[in-house]
Amino acid sequence: MFNKRIKIKELLNSEPQEQQETVMGWVRTFRNNQFIALNDGSTNNNLQVVLELGKFDEDLLKRITTSASLKVTGTVIPSLGKGQKLELKADTVEILGDSDAEKYPLQPKKHSLEFLREKAHLRFRTNTFGAIFRIRHSLAFAIHKFFNDKGFVYLHTPIVTASDAEGAGEMFRVTTLPFDNPPRLDDGSVDFTEDFFGRSTNLTVSGQLEGELGATAFGEIYTFGPTFRAENSNTARHLAEFWMIEPEMAFCDLEDNMNLAEEFIQYIIRYAMDHNADDLEFLRQRLLDEEKQKPQAERSELDLIQKLQFVTENKFERITYTEAIDILLQSPAYKKKKFQYEVKWGIDMQSEHERYLVEKHFKKPVIVTNYPKEIKAFYMRQNEDGKTVAAMDILAPGIGEIVGGSQREERMDKLTERMKEMHIPAEELWWYLDTRRFGTVPHAGFGLGFERMVQFVTGMGNIRDVIAFPRTPKNAEF
């Protein structure tokens, strides 16, 4: 049995009592042929391993290079150095794997995030990405815990889907047909009945419609899975493959939906703050350093942790779309013609408008409700005014839209009428309509883009830095 080791995180939290311990990890630095900073990924904090001078072979010492892997057994003693309570006085050091310091791509200096994106297979070994991905883990676990504790059922909605009715964006085709000589119908078009699934299929853009099927049986469900957009957007905010959480609740209206979303966001942020204090502190410092490059005026008033605290400790602002437009029209920014895009009732608000509301006007997360029906999906519940739908978007500082949701149209006549207006083929969604046909109930739900949330909590500006192996136009490496 190999795995008789103590994790460095656990060791650093223990008391030095001259106990014997074995640790394994990778060398971060080696100073004066004496002090190894060893990291095993359990925490960004390195263990100081001390080698007694003269005790170890020269040949061995030469092999202790950055990223070499070691097995060290020794005695845990109080540390005389500052910044650490304890250190490991080595009795034996075994090289598990060498690392050629000249060839190792991550040198002991600061690399740019762009450079590290090309080394995505190794960037986990840096402090920044160690912190990000441990926080990402905590957020994912918190999401499952939040919904499990409330009795929601985790539903795995399909990834490959024949339904293209939602119109949430461009889709990727999934196929086993050969490009060179696909089977064709008499009219020359490709015969998708010969494809693997007997029809044309795509990668899902959302699990919501199937989620509604679950909610109208289990009461409350959530999804947490990958979704896809074949949009040719090469920006810091877009991924072709990203993870989404979509809770869906029966017996639930727009207000319940907002209450749940707010409680949910506050819960998962608090969870990360409670479980990843070290990692957040590291990222807070990183962000401060990054902001020092910016002109004073563009720097954030709050640091990363203050920003998170602000979200967990304050109620979100709730305004209607109509109120939001009024605020924009009354704003100094509008009057000074600082907005690039038009502002009037009916527009799909642009990022500059959302940021004004969140960052300048309210300075906190804002829930905007009751959008014009023309700019929202067919399944959103129509309000009495005939103009708006019971939608809600949550806008977060620095990120923009982080949640999109609505009460769903549960009335069969209203729903099919709207589908007709929007040219949604009812016959393809026969199963969706059945939920309205047989014991329909008021219900609501929302979608949270997981990577946007991770960005918000880690303070990372580019979405490619919060997912392990980003998929973007012209890029599917690793």
Closest CB 4 distance from its own copies, rounded Å: 9
Question: Does 440 participate in binding its own copies (rule CB under 8 A)?
Answer: yes
Burial of 292 (0-12, 13-18, 19+ CB in 10 A): exposed
Closest CB 357 distance from its own copies, rounded Å: 25
Question: Does 124 participate in binding its own copies (rule CB under 8 A)?
Answer: yes
Question: Does 69 participate in binding its own copies (rule CB under 8 A)?
Answer: yes
Q: Which of 104, 396, 130, 142 is nearest to 286 (CA)?
A: 130
- Of the candidates 197, 334, 339, 362, which one interacts with its own copies according to CB under 8 A? 197
Burial of 111 (0-12, 13-18, 19+ CB in 10 A): middle
Ramachandran class of 251: left when φ > 0, alpha when ψ lies in -120 to 50, beta otherwise: left
Question: Does 78 participate in binding its own copies (rule CB under 8 A)?
Answer: no
Closest CB 230 distance from its own copies, rounded Å: 5
Shorter beta-carbon distance to its own copies: residue 284 or 436: 436
User: Rounded distance, CA 315 to CA 154, Å?
Assistant: 27
Dihedral sign for Cα 17, 23, 28, 33, please.
positive
Distance of CA 144 to the CA centre of its chain: 14
Shorter beta-carbon distance to its own copies: residue 81 or 105: 105
Question: Does 255 participate in binding its own copies (rule CB under 8 A)?
Answer: yes
Dihedral sign for Cα 317, 322, 328, 329, please.
negative
Q: Which of 76, 93, 58 is nearest to 14 (CA)?
A: 76
Burial of 355 (0-12, 13-18, 19+ CB in 10 A): middle
Shorter beta-carbon distance to its own copies: residue 102 or 342: 102
Question: Does 379 participate in binding its own copies (rule CB under 8 A)?
Answer: no
Q: Of 22-61, which residues contact its own copies (CB under 8 A)?
A: 24-27, 40-42
Evaluate whether 74 touches 42 at the Cβ level (below 8 Å).
no
Q: Give, for 440, the enclosing helix (H) or strand (E).
A: none
Angle between helices 254-275 and 304-313 (to 10 degrees): 140
Q: Of 442-461, which residues contact its own copies (CB under 8 A)?
A: 442
Question: Does 333 participate in binding its own copies (rule CB under 8 A)?
Answer: no
| Residues present in the chain in total | 478
Q: Of 199-228, which residues contact its own copies (CB under 8 A)?
A: 199, 201, 203, 210, 213-214, 217-220, 225-226, 228
Number of residues that bind its own copies (CB under 8 A): 114
Closest CB 89 distance from its own copies, rounded Å: 21
Q: Determine the interface stretch with its own copies among 165-173, 313-321, 360-368, 395-403 (rule: CB under 8 A).
A: 165-173
Closest CB 165 distance from its own copies, rounded Å: 12
The binding track of 83-112 with respect to its own copies, each residue x by CB under 8 A or -, is: -------------xxxxx--xxx-------
Question: Does 278 participate in binding its own copies (rule CB under 8 A)?
Answer: no
Q: Give, for 70, the enclosing helix (H) or strand (E).
A: strand 69-78
Q: Determine the interface stretch with its own copies among 13-21, 156-164, 326-334, 398-406 (rule: CB under 8 A).
A: 156-164
Shorter beta-carbon distance to its own copies: residue 228 or 356: 228
Q: Of 385-404, which residues contact its own copies (CB under 8 A)?
A: none
